Amino acid sequence: MTNSFEIGPVQVGSGRLFLIAGPCVIESEAHVRTMAEGIQRITSDLGIPYIFKASFDKANRTSVHSFRGPGLKEGTRILRRLAEDTGLPVLTDVHTPEQCAPAAEAVDVLQIPAFLCRQTDLLVAAGMTGRAVNIKKGQFVTPADMIHPVEKVRSTGNQRIFLTERGASFGYNNLVVDFRSLPTMRALAPVVFDGTHSVQQPSAAGGVSGGQPEFIPVLTRAAVASGLDGIFLEVHDNPAKALSDGANSLALHQLKPLLEQLLLIHSVVTR
């Protein structure tokens, strides 16, 4: 692993496991607050550093009719206020270079969606903000080739980069995880495993993506045992009613027992 850095109180690449979690998209200001506070109570009890995540816009939904979120202006207002009130670091997706600077004024981490991990202008714009940048590995990119997105961000002088594994395309409407990717990418930057998008079945449910959430615990346990820096989970209090990615989200009541298992595994691996 090449470097470590801080995102508020969260140490990335320090050897201490951290969590990124929240709903896929901002459904409402009240819902964001409920989710952030609920997850924060759990992580505080367990002593695991926590970054809240939610997107102001999901520009890569399968269908034009799908809910995308409140948009840049309202979404960043909600996220900025949440960060101020809770003290949590906050992460959100950006989809275009023009979104990077205004989003960076509201959040601590800019996330590059997997489908956009080769978009040079987007990576450079994100890097130029000075915010931490999470690059999600595209389903179509080899782990070793993630050096190129990393170098694009580093070309701006920004070294605050980490990478997220979320599975690779395996035929149609299916993803698989090659756990060799974790040590391969960890040689480039700190690495996070996305346990919820890795069980997604892209575009497999009639205009939306399906999923197999029963495998979230299996994959996240294996990932932590393989050695990594953080875990990414989309968490919702009612996945069946979620406006985006409900089919692959972890239910809020399942979060604490899963994190307890992951912390035990991590303590053994790092002993």
Contact 217, 39 (CB under 8 A): no
Asked if residue 126 has pLDDT above 60, the reply is yes
User: Residue 45: what pLDDT?
Assistant: 98
pLDDT in tens, 59-73: 886 778 788 899 999
CA distances to 99, 100, 107, 149, 180 from 104, rounded to whole Å, are: 8, 6, 5, 19, 32
Q: What is the mean pLDDT of residues 99-104?
A: 98
| % the chain with pLDDT above 90 | 85
Count of domains observed in the chain: 1
User: Residue 90: what pLDDT?
Assistant: 98
User: Residue 208: what pLDDT?
Assistant: 67
- b/e for 242-269, b at 16 or more Cβ within 10 A? bbbbbbbbbebebbeebbeebeebbeee
Question: pTM to 2 decimals?
Answer: 0.95
Asked if residue 98 has pLDDT above 60, the reply is yes
**For residue 119, what are the domain limits?**
5-269
Asked if residue 207 has pLDDT above 80, the reply is no
| % the chain with pLDDT above 70 | 97
Asked if residue 204 has pLDDT above 60, the reply is no
Report the alpha-carbon distance of residue 19 to residue 194 in Å, rounded: 10
Q: Tell me, what CATH number does 159's domain have?
A: 3.20.20.70
Asked if residue 245 has pLDDT above 90, the reply is no
Which H or E run includes 21? Answer: strand 18-22
For residue 47, the SS3 value is: coil
Asked if residue 202 has pLDDT above 90, the reply is no
CA distances to 50, 109, 144, 187, 204 from 160, rounded to whole Å, are: 17, 9, 19, 15, 35
Asked if residue 2 has pLDDT above 90, the reply is no
User: Residue 229: what pLDDT?
Assistant: 98
